[in-house]
Amino acid sequence: MALKVIHDPHELQAYTLSLFREGKTVGFVPTMGYLHEGHLSLFRCARRENDVVVASIFVNPTQFGPGEDFERYPRDPQGDKEKAESEGVDVLFMPRAEDLYPLDFQTFVEVERLTRGLCGAFRPGHFRGVTTVVTKLLMLAFPTRAYFGRKDFQQWRVIEQMVRDLHLPVEIVSCPIVREPDGLAMSSRNVYLSPEERQSALSLYRSLRKAEALFREGETRPQVYEQAIRTILESAPHLKKIDYIAIVDGLTLEPVDRVERGTLIALAAHVGPARLIDNWWVGVDSLDLPS
Ligand code: PAF
């Protein structure tokens, strides 16, 4: 089936409801575009598990705070269409901001506890924007399954919680982080980095590798991990600021006393003009790179 591009929310909803009535399963991948291998891995997963794959591209203004990168967020609609088509996406939803947020828009969805720490503490209102737009997109795409990458680990957990709390009829599937050959986690924001800043950005991956080595040695004290990670990050020349080094339970996202399987080690740091995040889900995800 050739790629069908839909801009109008009602047209998407009418189409996906007709698929539902026909008994077809729909896999949905919401994105903000500027597609990279991380997104494509979600498309492939959705392709394997569903009859029809719907993806969305929408740079959602409500999840960006004042002074963040909404205006300069990279966009490449034509390149994105080609990538989506070559990965077997059936429908690409590219709404206009005024259709998703008309002037009298006044309804938001908020998840409470899970959004207080990590990125939520540094980006007030961010998750409120994410959960609102994801709810709207789920109502329009009406998918059987929706796919999220674990680079945005907190986002995935928050959306899972929201879907459970609101009884939304969709299965949330999470997929592992996809990395560049040198370990840098794939992100549309990597495009902001100069070659020198990119070298500094590798310190995030290197510090997680160090955490992995500590775990193999049997280290369980969170403060030892934190200090080792901080030392590596702070030695990177273009690192401007560490937002957090969080050592938390992978389900509750609350700080832990002991690092063990299922702990999440999550980082956010500003390198040059880019705010980057990365994480290791201890004993669950692998930090190994494909050879
Ligand atoms: O992860 C993203 O790209 C965005 O936060 C999402 C889920 C598409 C909502 O705008």
pLDDT tens digits, residue range 234-250?
999 999 999 999 999 99
Q: Is 203 in the pocket of ligand 1 (CB under 6 A)?
A: no
Report CA-CA distances (Å) from 223 to 228, 257, 270. 9, 9, 22
pLDDT, one tens digit per residue, over 118-139 is: 999 999 999 999 999 999 999 9
My answer on whether 194 and 241 are in the same domain is yes
288 is a domain residue: no
Q: What is the pLDDT confidence band of residue 1, given thresholds at 50, 70 and 90? A: confident
Write the pLDDT tens digit of every residue in 178-196.
999 999 999 999 999 999 9
Instruction: Return mean pLDDT, the chain.
Output: 98
Structural domains in the chain (count)? 2
Residue 29 has pLDDT above 90, yes or no: yes
Which of the listed residues 175, 207, 241 is the one where a domain comes to its end?
A: 175
- CB neighbour class for 158 (10 Å; exposed up to 12, middle 13-18, buried from 19): buried
The minimum-distance atom of ligand 1 relative to the CA of 56 is 8
Please check whether residue 194 lies inside any domain of the structure: yes
145-149 sheet: strands from edge to edge: 4-6, 91-93, 52-57, 26-31, 145-149, 171-175
Domain containing residue 26: 4-175
Substitution candidate for ligand 1 out of 75, 101, 133, 156 with most atoms within 8 A of CB: 133
33 lines ligand 1 (CB under 6 A): no
- CATH number of the domain where residue 13 is located: 3.40.50.620
Q: Identify whether 158 is part of a domain.
A: yes
What's the DSSP call for residue 278?
E
pLDDT at 143: 98
Report the share of the chain in percent with pLDDT over 90: 99
Q: What is the mean pLDDT of residues 72-80?
A: 98
Q: Is residue 72 over pLDDT 80?
A: yes
CA contacts within 13 A on the Cβ side of 73:
21
**Catalytic sites, residue numbers:** 39
Question: Is 290 inside a domain boundary?
Answer: no
CA of 266 to the centre of ligand 1 (A): 18
pLDDT (0 to 100) of residue 291: 80
This prediction's pTM: 0.98
